[in-house]
Chain A
Amino acid sequence: MSAERWKEDEALLESLRKGSPGAIDELLRQYQGKIFNLAMSILKNESDAEEAAQDVFMTVIRKADTFQGNSAFYSWMYRICVNTCLMRLRGKRRTETVSLEEFMPVFTDEGMHASPMDDWSKEVERNALNEELGRMIRMYTEELSEKYRVVFVLSDVEGLSNEETAKILGLTVPAVKSRLHRARLYLREQLSRYLREGKAG
């Protein structure tokens, strides 16, 4: 997140506290896409995500006056969003998520990688693959359980720093890194299989 974004948010928040409704409208319009996306990535369906987004905005509106500013506004709002969505998941029957274990790297007795290693790192730089690759990453990300998925979305997709992600999720930085690492291992393995199959087919 840029420093300009931060400053703009603070200015809008100030106007909001002085009672300006236009500021609320402006502030939330900036973030509705992000909040919907974050909610979707956790809840995985549109109607839940829409309801959650409304809850998030309502909470932000109610509490904007008492927000103390010891974090960036968007950080605070993302945290509210994650909390709203995770609370919604409680008591809902969870869809199956994969166990990561079978996607971790496997080594031979000599300590070498046991699975074939195709280097696809260069070929995915072709722009023609972007749509497909984006879809595949999204699909595999959905298969992760929330604790890995949210970290991956915030850190690697949205580009927040480990520190920011840690703050939003109430985790330590090492915990963020560890979950991020496992999410990446899973995605790397899935993408490798997918791209290898594409060649063979």
Chain B
Amino acid sequence: MLADYFDGSMDPQLREELDAHLALCEPCLVFTKTYQAVSDKARRLRRQIEYEIPLDVRDRLETFVRAAALKYPEKLDEYREQVQRERREMVAGLVKAAIACRLSPVMALLVKTHCSACPECKEYFDGLPKASDPGPGDPPDLIHSHMIRLLQSLPPGEEFFLA
């Protein structure tokens, strides 16, 4: 792939073959030059390409952040509790989705891959009751922490459950 040629990761033999071809083929040479120019210019023209933050937006954001920052010391405990609570809720949601067979494909794959390397989690997931049975309690700490890691490794924008 051409991107590999420019970032130095192309297989040396392939690179040699490509160089030989480029020495003889004008259209391909132009193609590679203009291809490289796209990323070169994108980098150099970052300031022109970036969306500059309007002054009023910037001021509002600064005001917002400053207000939140000033409250930070007194809110710290509340934030910590909030995060813990959110994590428990996410794990509970994950377990529920697993029981109902409604994990998103990405999440299902993450769980499967993890369980193949983690006997405790495998045992836990395999032992989950069927949908009609009463729900399990909170998973043990170790499994809880693994689940948090799995949830955090979901690519941005992805859900862990099927809508």
> Could you tell me which A residues sit within 8 Å of B by CB distance?
16, 19, 21-22, 24-25, 28-29, 32-33, 36-37, 40-41, 46, 49-50, 53-54, 57-58, 61-63, 65-66, 79, 82-83, 85-87, 89-90, 105, 112-113, 117-121, 124, 130-131, 133-135, 137-138, 141, 152, 156-159, 162, 168-171, 177-178, 180-181, 184-185, 187-188, 191-192
In the complex, which residues 65-86 of chain B have their Cβ closer than 8 Å to any Cβ of chain A? 65-66, 68-73, 76, 79-80, 82-83
The complex places the Cα of A86 from the Cα of B7 at a distance, in Å, of 29
Chain B residues near A134: list those with CB within 8 A: 45, 47-49
Chain B residues near A156: list those with CB within 8 A: 38-39, 42-43
**What residue of chain A has the Cβ atom nearest to residue B58's Cβ?**
A32
Q: Is the CB of B34 within 8 A of A65?
A: no
A104 → chain B closest CB, angstroms = 12
The complex places the Cα of A23 from the Cα of B4 at a distance, in Å, of 40
Chain B residues near A63: list those with CB within 8 A: 79, 83
Contact of A58 among B3, B60, B68 (CB under 8 A): B68
Interface contacts (Cβ under 8 Å), in number, total 175
**What residue of chain B has the Cβ atom nearest to residue A135's Cβ?**
B48
Contact of A188 among B34, B76, B156 (CB under 8 A): B34
Q: Is the CB of A113 within 8 A of B73?
A: no
From known contacts A120-B34, A124-B41, infer whether A57 and B49 are also in contact, taking CB-CB under 8 Å: no
**What residue of chain A has the Cβ atom nearest to residue B78's Cβ?**
A62
> Could you tell me which B residues sit within 8 Å of A by CB distance?
1-4, 7, 25-28, 30-31, 33-39, 41-43, 45-54, 57-58, 60-62, 64-66, 68-73, 76, 79-80, 82-83, 153-158
Write 12 A-B pairs (CB below 8 A) sorted by A numbering.
Answer: A21-B72, A25-B65, A50-B61, A83-B156, A83-B157, A113-B27, A119-B30, A119-B33, A137-B49, A157-B42, A180-B3, A188-B37
From known contacts A36-B51, A133-B41, A184-B39, infer whether A53 and B157 are also in contact, taking CB-CB under 8 Å: no
Q: Is the CB of A36 within 8 A of B57?
A: yes
From known contacts A65-B80, A121-B34, A171-B155, infer whether A152 and B3 are also in contact, taking CB-CB under 8 Å: no
Chain A residues near B28: list those with CB within 8 A: 113
Chain B residues near A120: list those with CB within 8 A: 34, 37
Contact of B65 among A32, A87, A170, A192 (CB under 8 A): A32
Chain A residues near B73: list those with CB within 8 A: 19, 21
Q: Is the CB of A40 within 8 A of B157?
A: no
Q: Is the CB of B58 within 8 A of A21?
A: no
